[in-house]
Structure 1
Amino acid sequence: MSTTSVTMQSIRIPDSLEARDAEDFVASSELANLVTGLLWGNNDLWVSPAARLEGARPNDYEQSLLWAAKDGDRHVGRAVLEMTKQDNLHNAFVHVMVHPGFRGQGIARELLRTAEASAQDHGRRVLQSYSEHPAGFDPEAADVLRPKTGAGSLPGSSAAVRFARNNGYELEQVERFSVLARPVEAARVESLESLAAAKATGYRLVVWEDACPEEFVDQYALLRQRMSTDVPLGEIDYQEEAWDRARVRQGEEELRRKGGHSLVTAALHVPSRELAGHTFLDYYPEKPDVIYQEDTLVLRAHRGHSLGMLMKAHNLLRVGRLWPEGERLLTWNAAENQHMLTINDALGFVPAGYEAAWQKKAGAGA
């Protein structure tokens, strides 16, 4: 390291925020919110320390490790390593953040090396990460970097882009980050829903909040499993996740502990009684102005019936009544997923930025 005043240390995941050893976890969470807020110029992606703690707790499906860079008692950098425990045992996800006032001192590189070494100790040979980039750059400029998929681009002058490439990471994919302002024009969305419903003969919608009905939980687990690889992934080395009813229930319980709620709309194929697809939204009352549009999937055998539009439009109309304080919906889609982007555009989503998916395989040097 080029600096001597900053030290690195691991952070224990505390039992609660009231625990005596929770101070570092809270400070690290606050640093993450600060850096993210400064990048985007708003707090739409703010996550409370309590919600971060619930997400970091080890469970049967994943574990998280956390490190801090500290200038005295002040947290100036953080690294997170996340590893699944039931599938993709060759993979690890790593993410590094440094306070803008402490960049250029080698802190990010040291944090990254620490997390990478831990991943190697756990037998993980493929590392994946992401970086965020607000809109406003020229996507056709001469210095932009394009992913292997060929869809989307990033500003070549970005410090995050330079850091990733200098440390052996390759740009595999670009996702578009989109925002939909509420209230929506109900008549337009209702029209889109009606047009989609006319093409979806033989299907009906099933809706639930927070917990999947017992009669559908096994089928819903299958949808969540297929979602992990049926979406465009480019050359990202990621295998299908292992989902069952226990994992569905664990995810619902974790969301409940975070104080969150979900709204799921699924398409049921009436003749077979098979769930053909789903879409869902997440909402946290502690951040009442923001709603997160999460997964949307239609199984391959049921595509071509406008189920994606039908489910998303229906959910969008319901959410205004369920969570009326929500002012914006946020969502992310692969830049090459033109079908889903077309649906989102029709519903009123507009680009706000881009997220890069980076990958580094064992043996790739800096």
Structure 2
Amino acid sequence: MTTTDVSIRPYALPVSLDVPEAQPFIAASELSNLIEREVWGNDDHCHTAQTRFESSKSNDYEERTIFLAFEGERVVGKAVVDVPLTDNLQTCYALVIVHPERRRMGFGSALYAAVEDLALQCGRSTIMGWTDHRAGFDPTEVLTPATGAGAFPSTSLAARFATAHGFSLAQVDRCSVLPADWDSSALAALGVDAVRIAGPDYAVVDWVDRCPDELLEEYAHLRKTMSTDVPMGELDWEEEIWDGARVRENEDRLAREGGNSLVRAVLHRPSGQLVGHTILERRAENPGTVYQEDTLVLSAHRGHRLGMWLKAANLLAVVDVWPETRQIYTWNAEENRHMLDVNIELGFTPEGYTAAWQKKLKTAQ
């Protein structure tokens, strides 16, 4: 391969996937699915090009830039850079992937160089990125974050690439899965016990896809609190700015991706305020795979088993609302012992681990 065979190009999102200019994007989407299968050994986290197209559109809160690596006209790698626009203005989030047949040939390093150049142009001093690995790796050859919680295989390609480019391991999340053939009576019993402990001051409300207008701003407050209230390890993360408009944009984007959400929130009767919530999401392209997203109870209301109540109620409902459900995935920081224990009690088991990597840019202005 000569240098004329290789190019790293910024890629402008086309108006649709029906135009010739969309072919590199479609190829890059297929590459992403190839990598997901390589990591997880299944299609559970694969997406259609249309879903990726909708999620790649910039909005008022985040701007996305895509770089593609070409060998001739073949897409052999890609980098994605998300730049927050309303909060975390010191940070950007990056992903770099290369086709398995073209690794160790400089494509990844060239893509990362484009990422870092863009970060500096945007005045960002921190780059964050996330990589996955299935459970079952050798526990003697690992990296451990400064928190001391969790580990990630040091011999993995992702770890070697990240550390070679100056990133440190800031946090490890555990990916857990719950098959949908659970014992509904046991799950219901957990919920009943949680309701008893919570007492009469609390009630649960729920919605599908769209938050009721009268709860919108309180729900936005919960989403804002969630952004930093969970353990963040060594990540340089500031509280996100959420309001009703951001909630609606998030809901609209999920709908454009062919997605649905199932939300339960807990209402504190004496104050009339929402004090906790939990979210399940899925996409129509893969209706059997459901993702457990946020679960939060405000600190002043913890100790009443509200988190268990919310999660058990949502899980009991999901198989009725979405009967195609086969399994639910969730991620929790390894230092978040309380939520890990809740999930274990519900029946979740470890499936893999996600490493959060962080690099401080010394030359940032």
- Tell me the TM-score normalised to structure 1 length: 0.97
| Counterpart amino acid of residue 165 in structure 1 | T
Note the C-alpha offset of 1:20.
3.3
Q: Is the 8 A contact 2:87 2:239 kept in 1?
A: yes
Distance 1:293 1:21 in 2: 35
**Alignment partner of 2:152: what SS?**
coil
| Counterpart amino acid of residue 46 in structure 2 | W
Note the C-alpha offset of 1:48.
1.4
Distance 2:119 2:258 in 1: 31
Please name the residue that 2:5 is paired with: 5
Match of 2:145 among 147, 162, 165: 147
Please name the residue that 1:66 is paired with: 66
Identity of aligned residues (%): 47
Q: Is the 8 A contact 1:2 1:106 kept in 2?
A: no
Distance 2:5 2:18 in 1: 29
Distance 1:2 1:342 in 2: 54
Q: Is the 8 A contact 1:183 1:320 kept in 2?
A: no
| Counterpart amino acid of residue 149 in structure 1 | T
Please name the residue that 1:173 is paired with: 171
Please name the residue that 1:248 is paired with: 247
Q: Is the 8 A contact 2:47 2:285 kept in 1?
A: no
RMSD over equivalenced CA pairs, Å = 1.4
Distance 1:252 1:159 in 2: 35
**Alignment partner of 2:226: what SS?**
helix
1:129-278 matched pairs, under 5 angstroms: 129-139=129-139, 141=140, 143-201=141-199, 202-278=201-277
Residues 22-67 of structure 1, C-alpha deviations (whole Å, 9 max, x = no match)? 1111111111111111221101111111111111111111111001
Distance 1:40 1:59 in 2: 30
**Alignment partner of 2:235: what SS?**
coil
Aligned pair 1:42/2:42, yes or no? yes
Q: Is the 8 A contact 1:14 1:21 kept in 2?
A: yes
Residues 290-332 of structure 1, C-alpha deviations (whole Å, 9 max, x = no match)? 0011000001111111010000000000001011111010111
Aligned pair 1:104/2:104, yes or no? yes
Distance 1:176 1:313 in 2: 20
**Alignment partner of 1:123: what SS?**
coil
Note the C-alpha offset of 1:138.
3.0
Tell me, which stretches of 5 or more residues in structure 1 are unaligned? none
| Counterpart amino acid of residue 114 in structure 1 | A
Please name the residue that 2:55 is paired with: 55
Residues 264-300 of structure 1, C-alpha deviations (whole Å, 9 max, x = no match)? 0000001101101000100112111100110000011
Please name the residue that 1:343 is paired with: 342
- Tell me the TM-score normalised to structure 2 length: 0.97
Residues 156-186 of structure 1, C-alpha deviations (whole Å, 9 max, x = no match)? 2111111111111010100001111112110
Note the C-alpha offset of 1:19.
2.8
Distance 2:279 2:8 in 1: 39
**Alignment partner of 1:235: what SS?**
coil
| Counterpart amino acid of residue 24 in structure 2 | D
Alpha carbons of structure 1 residues 106 and 199: separation in structure 2 relative to 1, 3 Å: same
1:24-43 matched pairs, under 5 angstroms: 24-43=24-43
| Counterpart amino acid of residue 321 in structure 1 | D
Q: Across the two proteins, how many residue pairs are aligned to each other? A: 363
Please name the residue that 2:89 is paired with: 89
Residues 182-213 of structure 1, C-alpha deviations (whole Å, 9 max, x = no match)? 12110110010011111111100000000001
